């Protein structure tokens, strides 16, 4: 092989040239406070029930093209028809499918509008297929900037808007009235309301079975104790749901994932609710721990995430590094627009928070130095 670029490289999508792949450190850690998971373990009796059901799977057979029983359960939960529920291999796949079906024609690629900062996969997936990306910065309080959103919607007429509520990485819960007004004012734009973290803001869901027909609800089981099985979904108006089904890869939900998701939804919802409740309680403790850092400003936390702005800003990467050296992973988000000096810390179990508390009590004071 020569050192020259291979001849096929000219066929690569130009938009991939400056695209960085999604990166999450995969290291053994004592405390995983960097990935916004539900940290609480499932009790042994639930794991035993799941093991029995998984053992009964005929591994040589394809699963349903889409798992009908799981689809029906989710439809029941949302008071809609099963055909309106589209299942994805995580909501990451739903994002890619929505972008694919609303991407416009080859000559005029669609524009998508994103508040900034928000979940990175919206931009990464849109960029990968060459869509235009319009970013509207959040305001000082990390709330949606209503006038700027209205201007961008009016002037750029995007095909899609993604609104994560609560948002990642800010943990903020954007104004419900403003969002519903924007949806009503722009019927030619599809609004995807991503409620990945809504379990941590009880009573705040925007979902209504009689929603407008440019409204898509997106959800995932990843943040409620089931990140390992990769099940995400959306509820879309019938015509859009039909288009999504045209591009969805068949068999995208592995049978073990479908079986586990069904078991949890049908039989272990009370256990799951208790895990979420404990996580919400531990969020208060995490906020109290971070609030004791010198000069830290905390933002209101409505997901299983606490965002803290450190002073001086250079303390953010130093703190991440110092904690990583002790096996505690957090995310330094200080490089994102508007988040100078910020770290994002996911809620951990009580034991993980004990470790964090002990590590913070023992930090090298140089972390807070101005230089
Ligand atoms: C706002 C938001 N939406 C969607 C996802 C993707 O979730 P999954 O693909 O695990 O369903 C994430 C993951 O962090 C997220 O933060």
**pLDDT at residue 332 is higher than 70:** yes
Could you say which of 245, 267, 289 is where a domain stops?
267
Q: How far is CA 287 from CA 291, 334, 350, 362, in A?
A: 6, 18, 13, 18
Which numbered atom of ligand 1 lies nearest the CA of 164?
1
> Hey, is 86 helix, strand or coil?
strand
Q: How far is CA 305 from CA 110, 198, 300, in A?
A: 32, 12, 10
Domain extent for 340: 7-42+270-368
* CA 196 / ligand 1 centre spacing (Å): 6
Residues 225, 307, single domain; the answer is no
Percent of the chain with pLDDT over 70: 98
Overall average pLDDT of the 318-333 stretch: 96
**Cis omega (within 30 of 0) for bond into 197:** no
Q: 145 lies in a domain?
A: yes
Residues 263, 275, single domain; the answer is no
Residues 216, 292, single domain; the answer is no
- Please choose from 38, 114, 121 the residue to mutate so as to test ligand 1's pocket, defined by most ligand atoms within 8 A of CB: 121
pLDDT of 292 reads 95
Query: Which residues 6+ apart lie within 8 Å of 335 measured at CB?
Result: none
Residues 134, 283, single domain; the answer is no
Could you say which of 244, 267, 290 is where a domain stops?
267
Q: 158 lies in a domain?
A: yes
Q: How many helices (H) and strands (E) are present in the chain, helices listed first?
A: 11, 13
Residues 280, 340, single domain; the answer is yes
Q: 63 lies in a domain?
A: yes
197 within 8 A of 174, measured Cβ to Cβ? no
Confidence band for 106, pLDDT divided at 50, 70 and 90:
confident
**pLDDT at residue 219 is higher than 60:** yes
Which numbered atom of ligand 1 lies nearest the CA of 118?
1
235 within 8 A of 216, measured Cβ to Cβ? yes
**pLDDT at residue 110 is higher than 80:** yes
Confidence band for 19, pLDDT divided at 50, 70 and 90:
confident
**pLDDT at residue 2 is higher than 70:** no
Rounded Cα distance between 182 and 154, Å, is 10
CATH value at residue 114: 3.40.640.10
Overall average pLDDT of the 244-263 stretch: 96
The CB of 232 under 6 Å from ligand 1? The reply is yes
Which numbered atom of ligand 1 lies nearest the CA of 35?
14
**pLDDT at residue 230 is higher than 80:** yes
Cα angle: 173, vertex 287, 164; to 5 degrees: 20
Q: 47 lies in a domain?
A: no
**pLDDT at residue 88 is higher than 70:** yes
pLDDT of 17 reads 78
The CB of 118 under 6 Å from ligand 1? The reply is no
Q: 223 lies in a domain?
A: yes
Confidence band for 107, pLDDT divided at 50, 70 and 90:
confident
The tokens for 237 are 């108006």
Which numbered atom of ligand 1 lies nearest the CA of 89?
9
Could you say which of 267, 294, 310 is where a domain stops?
267
Q: 195 lies in a domain?
A: yes
**pLDDT at residue 336 is higher than 70:** yes
Q: Domain tally for the chain?
A: 2
Rounded Cα distance between 316 and 313, Å, is 6
Lowest mean pLDDT among 28-32, 200-204, 232-236, 346-350: 28-32
- Please choose from 37, 87, 119, 124 the residue to mutate so as to test ligand 1's pocket, defined by most ligand atoms within 8 A of CB: 119
149 DSSP 8-state letter:
H
9 DSSP 8-state letter:
G
Average pLDDT over the chain, rounded to whole?
Answer: 95
Residues 138, 194, single domain; the answer is yes
Q: Using one digit for the tens of pLDDT, what is the confidence trace for 270-289?
A: 999 999 999 999 999 999 99
> Hey, is 90 helix, strand or coil?
coil
Residues 64, 86, single domain; the answer is yes
Q: 51 lies in a domain?
A: no
Residues 358, 216, single domain; the answer is no
**pLDDT at residue 1 is higher than 60:** no
* CA 94 / ligand 1 centre spacing (Å): 10
The CB of 36 under 6 Å from ligand 1? The reply is yes
**pLDDT at residue 101 is higher than 60:** yes
Question: What single string gives the DSSP state of each residue in 177-238?
Answer: HHHHHHHHH-TTSEEEEE-TTGGGSTT-----TT--TTEEEEEESGGGTTGGG-EEEEE--H
Residues 321, 172, single domain; the answer is no
Q: 245 lies in a domain?
A: yes
Query: Which residues 6+ apart lie within 8 Å of 277 measured at CB?
Result: none
Long-range own/partner contacts, residues 29-32 (CB < 8 A, 24 or more apart)? 29/327, 29/328, 29/329, 30/326, 30/327, 30/328, 30/352, 30/355, 31/327, 31/328, 31/329, 31/348, 31/352, 31/355, 31/356, 32/329, 32/346, 32/348, 32/352
The CB of 194 under 6 Å from ligand 1? The reply is yes
Residues 258, 289, single domain; the answer is no
Q: Using one digit for the tens of pLDDT, what is the confidence trace for 20-70?
A: 777 766 667 899 999 999 999 999 999 999 999 999 999 999 988 789 999
Residues 323, 209, single domain; the answer is no
Confidence band for 119, pLDDT divided at 50, 70 and 90:
very high
CATH value at residue 34: 3.90.1150.10
Sign of the torsion angle spanned by Cα atoms 301, 307, 311, 313: negative
**pLDDT at residue 4 is higher than 90:** no
Cα angle: 312, vertex 314, 320; to 5 degrees: 115
The CB of 349 under 6 Å from ligand 1? The reply is no
Residues 238, 275, single domain; the answer is no
pLDDT of 169 reads 98
pLDDT of 302 reads 98
Q: Using one digit for the tens of pLDDT, what is the confidence trace for 154-185?
A: 999 999 999 999 999 999 999 999 999 999 99
294 within 8 A of 300, measured Cβ to Cβ? no
Q: Using the structure block, give the residue that is written with the tokens 């060459």.
A: 130
pLDDT of 109 reads 85
């Amino acid at each position: 092989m020569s050192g020259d670029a291979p001849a096929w490289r000219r066929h690569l999508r130009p938009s991939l040239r400056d695209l960085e792949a999604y990166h999450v450190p995969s290291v053994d850690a004592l405390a995983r406070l960097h990935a916004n998971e539900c940290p609480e373990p499932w009790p042994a009796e639930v794991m035993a029930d799941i093991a029995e059901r998984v053992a009964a799977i005929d591994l040589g057979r394809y699963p349903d093209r889409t798992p009908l029983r799981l689809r029906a359960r989710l439809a029941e939960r949302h008071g809609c028809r099963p055909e309106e529920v589209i299942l994805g291999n995580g909501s990451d796949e739903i994002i890619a499918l929505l972008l694919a079906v609303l991407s416009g024609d080859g000559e005029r690629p669609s524009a998508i509008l994103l508040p900034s900062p928000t979940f990175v996969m919206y931009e990464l997936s849109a960029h990968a297929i060459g869509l235009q990306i319009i970013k509207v910065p959040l305001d000082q309080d990390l709330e949606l900037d209503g006038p700027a959103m209205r201007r961008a919607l009016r002037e750029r007429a995007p095909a899609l808007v993604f609104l994560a509520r609560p948002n990642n990485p800010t943990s903020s819960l954007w104004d419900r009235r403003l969002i519903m007004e924007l949806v009503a004012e722009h019927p030619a734009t599809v609004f995807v309301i991503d409620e990945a973290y809504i379990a941590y803001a009880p009573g705040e869901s925007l979902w209504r079975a009689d929603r407008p027909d440019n409204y898509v609800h997106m959800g995932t089981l990843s943040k409620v104790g089931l990140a390992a099985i990769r099940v995400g979904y959306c509820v879309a108006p019938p015509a859009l749901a039909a288009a999504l089904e045209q591009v969805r890869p068949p068999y995208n939900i592995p049978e073990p994932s479908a079986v586990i998701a069904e078991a949890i939804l049908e039989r272990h919802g009370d256990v799951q609710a208790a895990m979420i409740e404990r996580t919400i309680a531990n969020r208060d403790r995490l906020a109290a721990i971070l609030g004791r850092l010198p000069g830290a400003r905390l933002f209101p936390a409505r997901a299983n995430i606490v965002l803290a702005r450190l002073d001086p800003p250079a303390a953010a990467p130093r703190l991440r590094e110092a904690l990583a050296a002790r096996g505690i992973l957090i995310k330094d988000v200080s490089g994102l627009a508007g988040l100078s000096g910020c770290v994002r810390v996911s809620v951990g179990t009580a034991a993980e928070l004990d470790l964090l508390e002990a590590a913070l009590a023992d930090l090298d004071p140089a972390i807070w130095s101005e230089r």
